[in-house]
Structure 1
Amino acid sequence: MEQKTIKNVFSLYDSSDFVQKLIVNFKNNPQTKVNIKGFLGSGLSILAGHLYDRVARPTVLIFDDKEEAAYFLNDLETLFDREQVLFFPSSYKRPYVVEDVNNANVVVRTEVLNALSHSKRPKIVVTYAEALLEKVVTKKALSSNTLKVKVGNDLGIDFLTEVLTSYHFHRVDFVSEPGEFSIRGGIIDVFSFSNEHPYRISLFGDEVETIRTFDIENQLSIATTKEITIIPNLENKSIDEKRESFLQYIPKDSLIIAKNISVLAKQINRNFEQAEEAFSQLTGEIKQAEPEKLFLNQNAFLHQVSEFGLIELAPIPYFETVEVIESPFKPQPTFNKQFELLIDDLNELKNDGFKNALICSNENQIRRFEEIFEDIGKEVSYIPVLGSIYQGFIDDEIKLACYTDHQIFGRYHKFNVRNSFTKKEAITLKEINSLQVGDYVTHIDYGIGKFAGLVRLNNNGVMQESIKLIYQNNDILYVNIHSLHKIAKFRGKDGVEPKVSKIGSPAWKNLKNKTKAKVKEIAFDLIKLYAKRRTRKGFAYSPDTYLQNELEASFIYEDTPDQFKATQDVKADMESDRPMDRLVCGDVGFGKTEVAIRAAMKAAVDGKQVAVLVPTTILAFQHFKTFSERLRDLPVKVAYINRFVTGKRKSEILAGLKSGQVDILIGTHQLVNPKIEYKDLGLLIVDEEHKFGVGVKDKLKTLRENIDTLTLTATPIPRTLQFSLMAARDLSVIKTPPPNRQPVDTNLVGFNEEVFRDAIMYEMQRGGQVYIVHNRVQSLKDIAGMVQRLVPDARVATGHGQMEGKALEAVLLDFIDGRYDVFVSTTIIESGLDVPNANTILINDAQNFGLADLHQMRGRVGRSNRKAFCYLVAPPLSVLTDEARKRLQAIEQFSDLGSGFNIAMKDLEIRGAGNLLGAEQTGFMMDIGFETYQKILNEAIEELKETDFKDLFEDQQTDKTKSYVSDVQIDSDLQIQIPDEYIESSEERLLLYKELADIETETDLQTFKNNLIDRFGKMPEEAENLLMSIQLKWISKKLGLERIVMKKGILLAYFVNKPQSEFYQSEEFRLILNYVQNNAKNISFKEKSPKKGEEFPSLFLRFEHIKTVKEALDNLQNLLIH
């Protein structure tokens, strides 16, 4: 079937009388005013696109709110180039509140003004009422505040610095947000308010040699350009420039398309009144302009909009002298995921002479329709269209039906607005990983110390950079930058300071050995169970059936690649004849339960029973609701038991289980009770296994050996641990959120009764429920009382961990069942509670929670198709600690699961590892630090693979290239470092040293070099030496060398100090012997008596006349080649 695009659909409207008539009207009379009555849907985007294209005038679409504007913006972006379609947002949340200004939006607004001033080609602008409210600077003011820079210009650093300072730009080390610039040698980085990315200007003398845009996250170049404009923050209310409304700024021949003039006027009036109220309450030194100067009022809006050609889309037009036209469009029907109805509808339309287009957001969706139609086995007439529009429609005039996949499947359709960047105040992963003076670190050989910065030490007359660590009794350890891989930032329990080690004491070594022994025990048991299972025969399930496909097609979200892979992995395990034992790990709401439901369905179709084991009564009830809802239309019987299910009902369920009438049973620990009889249990699904007691876990071990087991966990497992555990368990990680999940609208607010009242009333008006988290049991009732006073109609419940178990469960079940509107509780809701109808959460004293806790609590809302809200209630930012402020801003800004999610995951990884390996192991992690623990665990598992379980992992061992040395020490009097003159910031140098220490391939080393040159210019010799020293280490490992000394023109290369090492029987050593014999003039073998603490003498090679790192590298490479 031939596939089309949205542009093909667009071109069909060349033959539409409705569209062509409007084009003619506006060509003949630019001041034409028309009102279109009736539904348009995404037909509006097609209409606006044709008018813009054919009338060739600037076109401005004005919507009621940002969300609707964003949807139509996305529609238009599928029809035109990105440069032609502009989005004009508002720049803040509340007028006159400085910290509420969104610099990303200021940049986008300035980009639009700049484009409208300088572009020769008309543009389409999409905006909304709130954005129109704010006035903009005039074209004259914009021009006088613009600096143009071209390649070849003679400018010079002093001139640029002077101009940028006069524009109120701030000089920083590294540019991260608009209004900043930095200077490094002949490179100037500047973030103008006129572009979504900052610019990097390279000077040769005073001449501009190159201009590039770069990414603020990694500071690397994106693209080159010949000419740029640098514009300051013209939205700054304290800049005393004349302002005008956006409608006065746009060209006079623009065509305005407005949703509803009356509604827009009311919104503008309401916002203007809010601005007046905010202005009247202002106090402080900074003089602010009056609202009339900064904002548009209702009367001015109505007068200005009347001066343009206009299309209004209102039931009753605002202007009397307009032509009213009926829309030929009708909305896409609802099919409630009943595909038979869809087929009948499409065939009926075909018989009436319609063309049918199914608009699918990706190739997978197109295939999904093909599979569903094929399974149903009916002929169906449609054209697949690859693309995405907001709302499907039927056009009676040109006989076209456009149906969208997201409406057919009942999925949320996500809009995308290009956000230039996020504020730098938020904490970043880079900050979390970077070392600050005073941070605790672990050195693999010496233990836990405090980081005291980078220092330069004299080595044979040469100043070299080292890391200073402070241990017990203020003992100091200097660590060469070549040994940086031995140091890791200490990650243990939040707020708990570790015990600093004593240099020279055996305590650290003993602790490491004890940890390793215990870790080995656990790893041994895990691998033994894995090996046992591999030898057993299990039930092999048959391939997918029509019922399985129908279930998967009815999933309201689109599978993420991770989720799809996890599903495929589980099915492959079930179809093999070995018992499955797979762990599926993924964050709350990432689709683990859906994977479990699909596995359960697969088992039930083959006549096997499924037990779903969960740790709490509440979870049992929730899973029962979810499983029942998903399997509602399929021939599968789902039941659940918990302590509330008693007497006759329980007996019926257990009888049904024994007879085979019950296919899927969900429950708590009772499910593994030997008294419960299954007719034919085939699959066990365990949710959050770590929450069960030892007794249940022991029973699970016995069960696991013979039946398929699928375990789900929401706490993430660190990447390094994932690889280790693959030796003992099959693992699927779901790390991407569903693409169609609405991000939770997250707002940082002060404690204010109005906020509570408005949030609760809004949620209740749309039939939803509200969580309020207040983490103090003693004042929980006060908050509940306040809610009752503010919203008398609200049904309010309270809950906390000190309540009697049954009472708490009863309250929670009533809330899940919708018997309460507001649930005021402590953090007991943090994980496991799933109430799709609760979509607002207020977290009081949010500054007192860690990132992971905030992330998990926010994860309680936004679990359905409805927009969700999270209010972080905290004191003003100015009174919070730096860390608390950054934490809250990270959660507020990263509401769509970006970097903030990764940061929260860092916190949670320690919990995840502990949950998986047990409480005792968590203790070890806290004692020696998480990074060191991971290293020890990896070592233990590798050793077990090579000894006790050598046969089991034979295939893996052959793949490895033999490495006789684990670490190479370099000692030199040469300049091998990043000089201060090249990179001033010691923090940045340390980050780069750390990055370099982790590099393992030639490709990554070359990328690192290119990036360094891109950011800082040509590399000095010392930095070149540093990069070559990494290659020197790699070659040394292959040659069995564990120490390299380069001093006074002599190179000493020490072999591995273990005579029993396999290296001395290897081919590599034989070749080295031959080479040395043939080149005895320059190289000689030497032996050195053992030092104190060494058992054996050292064998080494001595090379004469080695004055550079490059010469050392070339000589060792010769050994390798020959």
Structure 2
Amino acid sequence: MTKNKQNNYQNYAYSIKKYFDKSSNSLCLITKDNIESKYIYNELSFLIKNNLIHIFPENDILPYDHFSIPEDITKQRFQLINNKNKDKHILISSVKNLFEIFPDRYFFKSEKTFSINDELSIDRIIKIVESLNYQKITNVEKINEYSVRGGIIDVFSPIYKSPLRIEIFDDHIESIRLFDIESQLSIKNINQFSISKGNLYSLDNLKVSSFINKWRDYFPDIDERYCSIFQKIKNNKVPEGIEIYFPFFFEKTSTFLDIFNDYNFIKYHDLSDNIKKYDDLIRNRYKDELNDSNRPLIKPSDLFLSYKDILDFTESIKEIDIDKIDHSFESFKQIEEAIEDNNFKDKKIVLMSSIPSEIKKLKEKYKTEAIKIKNTSEIKNDLSIIYGNIVRPINIRDENTLIFHKEYIDKSAYQIDLSNTKSIKKDTLSKLFQSGDLIIHEDYGLGIYEGLEVVEANKKFSEYIKIIYDKNEILYVPLKNINKITNYHKNNNINIKIDSLSSNKWSIKKSRADKRVVDHAAEILDIESRRNNASSPRLKADEDLFLNFEKEFPYSETPDQIESILSIKKDLSLIKPMNRVLCGDVGFGKTEVAMRAAFISVSSNKQVIIITPSTVLCDQHYDSFIKRFENFPVSINKLNRHTSNKNKGHVINDFNAKKIDILIATHIVFNNTINYENTGLLIIDEEHKFGIKQKNFIKNRKSNIHVLYLSATPIPRTMNLVFSGLKDFSFLQTPPTNRINIKSFLKIQTSQLLKEALTREKVRGGQCFIVQNDIDKMAAIEKEINNLLPDFKVSIAHGRLSKKEIRNVMHDFKNGDIDGLICTTIIEMGLDIPNANTMIIINSHNFGLSQLHQLRGRVGRSEKQGYCYFLIPTLEIPKLSRNRLDSIIRHSSLGEGFLIAEEDLELRGGGEMLGDKQSGHIDNIGLSLYLSMLKDAINSQKNNKLSIKKDIEINFYDSAYISEDYLPSPLERLKIYKKLDEVLTLKDLKTLNKNLKDRCGKIPIETKNLIDNKKFYLKVLNTGIKSIKSNKKNTNIEITDAIKDTHFDKLISLAKDKPKIYQINSNNKFIYKYDELNSEVRRKKINKLLDEIF
């Protein structure tokens, strides 16, 4: 067997574990950088039990950065510092952390601990959190926040990974729970809690005073009037990059070494080069930023620990002896040969991979199942196959076990998994209105929402929606009618006038729109009916063959991918043509789902056409499909503007002759020379880039083609059709493992900002996109970058270059030979460069909202933090452009492409989306109401009957509302009212009741009544009951002809058996008489009565 001397593997993890076993104290392992920290973390976590391995994260900012430390990093650091005295463990830190200064270590000390049943009032706990500078908000989502609702206080202390929910009753702690940030619902009960300071920069008067005094002492010659950062802090505002003035906020500071001084510090190699490298970065950054008089800098010696001190310390700490691994290999294939030759003798061998398809191959090769273990002591067999993220080989001598990781040995791409895949749950509620918004009441027209108001009538209280109309006319709308109110999405190009309650103009406008809606619905249904009436070929792949294709997928499918694939498989197996939209944010795995669908079609001897909106995306898909299908007999070709006329003819002829199975093309495919007769599946990628005429070209050409639309930002017409049930819909909302939110910034373009952004990416070994859509100005940007950073390699790519030039530039960029790519929006769709994690968009105000979202999606496609800079030349940009940029910054979380599409619709106006014929009607009655009416019209025409809204009046003449004391936020109350209105089943109502109690505490009587009214409504829905009106002496139940005979017979029987109590009069009212009863008793009796009848 050939040995590679360079692969003389070091047994790092095992050597550290042995040292840890002998140590009486916790260890702090110092590494050269964060990447090495992650490698050794994965290895040690596999060897040592009980989650005793932790990484102290780097701050993820540059020295003298304009940005602040991300909150999740601050939270992790607080937790590690607060828990440092618990069980003996290993803390891993890079040398970068040693340079930082921290508050005095006592800053992190927790306040008093409280337990269940302890005496503690709401007022007292509020005083405690406010003394620690916690911020009061509506919903707690970040550390250092708190909120109060009824007898519940939510607090996010940095000690815990999740925020706390403390329920107080009679000035005692009744329960303590942790709750989920996204759902805001409790997830775990605990017995006690502690609260500590949660924010280094909570600017109380003491800290602001300290900052001002120290600033003036340090910068006596600086005119603070012109320093925006000084003025912000003076006014208790926390600016980005506040960390550069850290010493000004604290009387005493400490270092990483001070905080963890009771740990045994160790290393396993020399760190001097890395220490020197970071010290050089600090000093270079200081020089670069020094000339900004608006942002004077503290000297490096006053903001960082010195190079000499850190070097002296790291040279003094223990460098542990690293055991050597006895075996060394050039490839994983040599390991497999050694296993076959029995060269490992009596050792147990563990073969690992982080790629599911590789695990499957190993399982098949060695005829053994892959196992899941938490610790190496669970390894029993001579040969084991394990999915895992170990990087370097390990020789566990005392367990006689050797571990080899395939991707490390072969030096192929692998992932370091430090996070769990989690589905992103979006609120399905319609966008709620806020005070001052324009809203539409379907009966009264356009008005201004003024908020919620409690109104008293006969000593009974209810909450109403207050709307202002023309001439200050006021309409109070009962919240049971909240479904009649929708947002008015204002087209920015028109002037609007609110309606009058004393005029019939609104009814005229609505009547005209209603006539157009009926015609519009018929047009939509006509196109779809042709597809529904057509019969398509049943497409079904051989299960064994399809399973083999699935095994080739090099990653784990997300739950949403699996669900989408199953839905598509079912669609393709039916006679009815598939008409499905697959919506998933950029990089969420739509292409793999499309590949599975294509495989099924080809396996059924039917061709596939994939249409892309750009040549770059066409080429990208072609390369991806060729690689994915390389082990299967599938013919794939492409058509785009780079295809020569001669080759274009050959490709079309081959496709028409059924010699090509999958054709990937741009708009060239919309022509009459292509024969669609044998096409079984059409895949349209980024469908919002194509017009209706282009999509209908193929629909009309061959109506029995299965169609799959792929989109990260679905066009609103499609969204509406989805909601109307005319298209099927799959949504990928689970991000790939390790994917994290991209940090997005709106900034004025400066050379210094450009230099800082590019340096940040260069320092961590990454690459950058610089988008400049004006080709004539690209050379100037290239020259500017070369002057700013001579060692930063840049190239240019745009549509005017030849095919060969573009291919060469993209090849160099993919291979990492180029640090930055200056390009137009040709990279907007489909380009996948995992190492490119900074996007700079010049003149971002000139781009559309969905375009900005697509561009941002090109970065953040690995475990690294992605950055996107939306640059503008000045703050004076058009309002519509500003609204777009505000929206893209607001929707920065993973999976929010769907929300961006909705907001894009608002900003652009509905006429553009739904057609010119609809434009005037949409402007008159509002987009939301138009879509609602269109949906009703479509449903009516589909079912051949009018859509009837069932208004059932439930009235017990008592107070029924959500009080401000119980839920202080008007917006949160409105959300509950809206959710209550949208509840369709008693089961869902029970869930809403449970969740409300969890979030706000014991439900007061008036809110119980509100929920109770909904319960009665659901019980009599579709029974023929029109109303239930109950007062102190009788209850009237109004009956319609729709009541079932069996139910009516029960009412008749009650009236006959007990005529003094029950009666039915000539007005179809069932009357229930009783002695004077209060509301609570009446509700119980009516509930029991309804259960007996229905």
Q: Name the CA shift for 1:325/1:345 in 2 (closer, same or farther; >3 Å).
A: closer
Q: Name the CA shift for 1:1023/1:234 in 2 (closer, same or farther; >3 Å).
A: closer
User: Who is 2:438 aligned against?
Assistant: 440
Amino acid at match of 1:266: K
Structure 1 residue 295 and structure 2 residue 304: aligned? yes
Equivalences for residues 279-428 of structure 1 within 5 A: 295-311=304-320, 326-328=324-326, 330=328, 333=331, 347-348=340-341, 355-359=348-352, 370=363, 383-393=383-393, 395=395, 398=400, 400-403=402-405, 412-416=414-418
User: Who is 1:641 aligned against?
Assistant: 639
Query: What is the DSSP-based 3-state SS (H/G/I as helix, E as strand, rest coil) of the residue aligned with 1:256?
Result: strand
Distance 2:117 2:292 in 1: 48
Structure 1 residue 998 and structure 2 residue 982: aligned? yes
User: Who is 2:970 aligned against?
Assistant: 986
Contact 1:683 1:708 in 2 (8 A): yes
Give the paired residue count.
1019
Distance 1:717 1:647 in 2: 33
Q: How far has the Cα of 1:1031 moved from its partner?
A: 0.7
182-191 or 451-460, larger mean C-alpha shift? 182-191
Query: What is the DSSP-based 3-state SS (H/G/I as helix, E as strand, rest coil) of the residue aligned with 2:557?
Result: coil
Distance 1:631 1:567 in 2: 17
User: Who is 2:529 aligned against?
Assistant: 528
Distance 2:1090 2:194 in 1: 56
User: Who is 2:83 aligned against?
Assistant: 115
Q: Name the CA shift for 1:551/1:875 in 2 (closer, same or farther; >3 Å).
A: same
237-246 or 96-105, larger mean C-alpha shift? 96-105
Q: Name the CA shift for 1:348/1:393 in 2 (closer, same or farther; >3 Å).
A: farther
Q: How far has the Cα of 1:350 moved from its partner?
A: 6.8
Distance 1:781 1:362 in 2: 42
Q: How far has the Cα of 1:480 moved from its partner?
A: 0.7
Structure 1 residue 149 and structure 2 residue 103: aligned? no
Q: Name the CA shift for 1:372/1:528 in 2 (closer, same or farther; >3 Å).
A: farther
> Which of 221, 224, 241 is the matching residue for 2:186?
221
Identity %: 27
Q: Name the CA shift for 1:923/1:711 in 2 (closer, same or farther; >3 Å).
A: farther
Contact 2:828 2:851 in 1 (8 A): yes
Structure 1 residue 1121 and structure 2 residue 1087: aligned? no
Contact 2:443 2:507 in 1 (8 A): no
User: Who is 1:127 aligned against?
Assistant: 93
Q: Name the CA shift for 1:777/1:392 in 2 (closer, same or farther; >3 Å).
A: closer
Q: Name the CA shift for 1:539/1:111 in 2 (closer, same or farther; >3 Å).
A: closer
Query: What is the DSSP-based 3-state SS (H/G/I as helix, E as strand, rest coil) of the residue aligned with 1:73?
Result: helix
Distance 2:721 2:383 in 1: 45
Amino acid at match of 1:986: P
Q: How far has the Cα of 1:609 moved from its partner?
A: 3.6
> Which of 19, 33, 37 is the matching residue for 1:65?
33
User: Who is 1:514 aligned against?
Assistant: 515
Q: Name the CA shift for 1:496/1:305 in 2 (closer, same or farther; >3 Å).
A: farther
Structure 1 residue 704 and structure 2 residue 702: aligned? yes
Q: Name the CA shift for 1:279/1:1064 in 2 (closer, same or farther; >3 Å).
A: closer
Distance 1:767 1:263 in 2: 17
Q: How far has the Cα of 1:437 moved from its partner?
A: 0.6
Distance 2:192 2:863 in 1: 45
TM-score, scaled relative to structure 2: 0.79
> Which of 192, 196, 211 is the matching residue for 1:231?
196
Structure 2: runs of 5+ lacking an equivalent: 202-245, 369-380
Amino acid at match of 2:437: D
User: Who is 2:1050 aligned against?
Assistant: 1071
Distance 1:364 1:738 in 2: 16
Distance 1:1083 1:753 in 2: 84
User: Who is 1:752 aligned against?
Assistant: 750
> Which of 894, 897, 915 is the matching residue for 1:897?
894
Distance 2:355 2:619 in 1: 35
Equivalences for residues 735-884 of structure 1 within 5 A: 735-739=733-737, 751-757=749-755, 770-774=768-772, 783=781, 786-787=784-785, 789-790=787-788, 797=796, 816=810, 830-831=828-829, 840-844=838-842, 852-861=850-859, 869-874=866-871
Q: How far has the Cα of 1:70 moved from its partner?
A: 3.7
Query: What is the DSSP-based 3-state SS (H/G/I as helix, E as strand, rest coil) of the residue aligned with 2:591?
Result: helix
TM-score, scaled relative to structure 1: 0.77
Query: What is the DSSP-based 3-state SS (H/G/I as helix, E as strand, rest coil) of the residue aligned with 2:1021?
Result: helix
Q: How far has the Cα of 1:357 moved from its partner?
A: 2.6
Distance 1:1006 1:719 in 2: 35
Contact 1:69 1:127 in 2 (8 A): yes
Contact 1:129 1:267 in 2 (8 A): no
Q: How far has the Cα of 1:467 moved from its partner?
A: 0.5
Distance 2:126 2:767 in 1: 55
Q: Name the CA shift for 1:828/1:521 in 2 (closer, same or farther; >3 Å).
A: farther
Distance 1:1013 1:844 in 2: 49
User: Who is 1:256 aligned against?
Assistant: 266
Distance 2:316 2:411 in 1: 44
Query: What is the DSSP-based 3-state SS (H/G/I as helix, E as strand, rest coil) of the residue aligned with 1:116?
Result: coil
Structure 1 residue 907 and structure 2 residue 903: aligned? yes
Distance 1:444 1:190 in 2: 41
Q: How far has the Cα of 1:543 moved from its partner?
A: 0.9
Distance 1:391 1:66 in 2: 15
Contact 2:78 2:108 in 1 (8 A): no
Amino acid at match of 1:904: I
Distance 2:717 2:984 in 1: 17
Q: How far has the Cα of 1:631 moved from its partner?
A: 3.2
Contact 1:841 1:858 in 2 (8 A): yes
Q: Name the CA shift for 1:637/1:579 in 2 (closer, same or farther; >3 Å).
A: same
User: Who is 1:482 aligned against?
Assistant: 480
Query: What is the DSSP-based 3-state SS (H/G/I as helix, E as strand, rest coil) of the residue aligned with 2:83?
Result: helix
Contact 2:155 2:163 in 1 (8 A): yes
Distance 1:38 1:747 in 2: 43
Query: What is the DSSP-based 3-state SS (H/G/I as helix, E as strand, rest coil) of the residue aligned with 2:515?
Result: helix
Amino acid at match of 2:272: S
Structure 1 residue 1085 and structure 2 residue 1064: aligned? yes
759-768 or 343-352, larger mean C-alpha shift? 759-768
User: Who is 1:1009 aligned against?
Assistant: 993
Q: Name the CA shift for 1:734/1:213 in 2 (closer, same or farther; >3 Å).
A: closer
User: Who is 1:561 aligned against?
Assistant: 559
Structure 1: runs of 5+ lacking an equivalent: 1-35, 312-322, 336-340, 376-380, 800-804, 951-962, 1089-1097
Contact 1:37 1:326 in 2 (8 A): no
Distance 1:853 1:1029 in 2: 46
Amino acid at match of 1:133: F
Spell out, residue by residue over 1:761-794, the C-alpha distance to the aligned partner (whole angstroms, 9 max, x if none). Answer: 8879999975333577997775465346546786
Contact 2:1034 2:1071 in 1 (8 A): no
> Which of 85, 91, 104 is the matching residue for 2:53?
85
Q: Name the CA shift for 1:251/1:1009 in 2 (closer, same or farther; >3 Å).
A: same
Contact 1:443 1:486 in 2 (8 A): yes
Query: What is the DSSP-based 3-state SS (H/G/I as helix, E as strand, rest coil) of the residue aligned with 1:610?
Result: strand
Contact 2:113 2:195 in 1 (8 A): yes
Distance 2:393 2:51 in 1: 27
User: Who is 1:969 aligned against?
Assistant: 953
Equivalences for residues 679-698 of structure 1 within 5 A: 681-688=679-686, 691-692=689-690, 696-698=694-696
> Which of 940, 943, 956 is the matching residue for 1:943?
940
> What is the root-mean-square deviation of aligned Cα atoms in Å?
5.1
Contact 1:964 1:1038 in 2 (8 A): no
Query: What is the DSSP-based 3-state SS (H/G/I as helix, E as strand, rest coil) of the residue aligned with 1:149?
Result: strand
Spell out, residue by residue over 1:327-373, the C-alpha distance to the aligned partner (whole angstroms, 9 max, x if none). Answer: 547578367xxxxx996575456776654434366989755754688
Q: How far has the Cα of 1:451 moved from its partner?
A: 1.0
Contact 1:608 1:682 in 2 (8 A): yes
Spell out, residue by residue over 1:985-1030, the C-alpha distance to the aligned partner (whole angstroms, 9 max, x if none). Answer: 3333222222222223334333333333333332221111111111
Contact 2:585 2:897 in 1 (8 A): no
Q: How far has the Cα of 1:689 moved from its partner?
A: 5.2
Q: Name the CA shift for 1:537/1:438 in 2 (closer, same or farther; >3 Å).
A: closer
Q: How far has the Cα of 1:433 moved from its partner?
A: 3.5
Distance 1:200 1:457 in 2: 32
Distance 2:765 2:122 in 1: 61
Amino acid at match of 2:510: K
Contact 1:773 1:827 in 2 (8 A): yes
